[in-house]
Amino acid sequence: MLLRNCLFFLPLMAMLSCQTSSKTTTMETQAQAKQHEEWQLLFDGKTTTGWHTYGEKTIGKAWKVEDGTLRLDASSKKDWQTAEGGDIVTDQSFDNFHLKMEWKIAPNGNSGIILFVQEDSALYPYPWSTGPEIQVLDNAGHPDAKIQKHRAGDLYDLIASSPETVKPAGQWNQVEIISQNSQLTVTLNGTQVVATTLWDDAWKQLIAKSKFAQMPGFGMFQSGKIALQDHGDDVWYRHIMIKRL
């Protein structure tokens, strides 16, 4: 009798196990698909759709799509920036987000990733008039690297990155920036290099001691656009994506 019962239950248990496994696999697939859908490409690798020059309706011709990268061709200078270049910003604004991208800089080059930009060129001449910047720099060649809090990975003029994980000019760097519920973290090449709380009294003191102290509203906006800086040097960006949190 016991043997007959066992023989009856074995196929049933196998069927239930297969159903459970199939259900688990389906749930995992759905979760992975949902997570993939949450990421929004800010650069499709083919066009400059979704970006425009700060204060303009279109993007400057010096920003070019080459081999899946968004490149600033700084061969034609205009003051400290690029002719037909300029800082570019996203069409959309973001508050809580997880931003990923890769960048590489030309020898002696300078650029930056600017957050929470308020696009009102009448009040604020540049994206960095309102938005904190993650420095993009050739630490070995650019003179800014000699200034504390101006090196690659730093929250420019506010917080020095530590440890330094930046790669040399001409090599790709992976950066992740997370802003969630006033907590900001920056990860460069797999290592967290900056962590701070935004908009509190300590943050206001950092600004008061920085070059931005006399810029009304700098660093205090909790939603805004993301900018890539034209500092008159060749720079490349790719794999730019964001997830709202």
108 and 25 in one domain?
no
Least confident window among 26-40, 52-66, 85-99, 218-232:
26-40
168 and 51 in one domain?
yes
State the pLDDT at residue 102: 98
Tokens found for residue 63:
């920003």
5 and 87 in one domain?
no
Q: Which residue has the higher pLDDT, 67 or 13?
A: 67
179 and 84 in one domain?
yes
Cα torsion 51, 55, 58, 60 to 10°: value is -90
80 and 28 in one domain?
no
Residue 237 and residue 138 in contact, taking contact as beta carbons nearer than 8 Å: no
114 and 207 in one domain?
yes
Q: Where does 169-231 show beta strands of DSSP type E?
A: 173-180, 183-188, 191-197, 225-228
209 and 178 in one domain?
yes
46 and 27 in one domain?
no
pLDDT tens-digit map of 27-83: 555 555 455 569 999 999 999 999 999 999 999 999 999 999 999 999 999 999 999
- pTM, 2 dp: 0.86
34 and 53 in one domain?
no
* CA neighbor of 99 nearest in space, from 200, 156, 174: 174
**Domain that includes residue 195, residue range:** 42-244
State the pLDDT at residue 30: 56
Least confident window among 21-25, 56-60, 234-238:
21-25
pLDDT tens-digit map of 134-174: 999 999 999 999 999 999 999 999 999 999 999 999 999 99
206 CB neighbour count, 10 Å cutoff: 20
182 and 133 in one domain?
yes
36 and 54 in one domain?
no
Counted domains in the chain: 2
pLDDT tens-digit map of 105-141: 999 999 999 999 999 999 999 999 999 999 999 999 9
Instruction: Give the CATH number of the domain where residue 191 resides.
Output: 2.60.120.560
235 and 121 in one domain?
yes
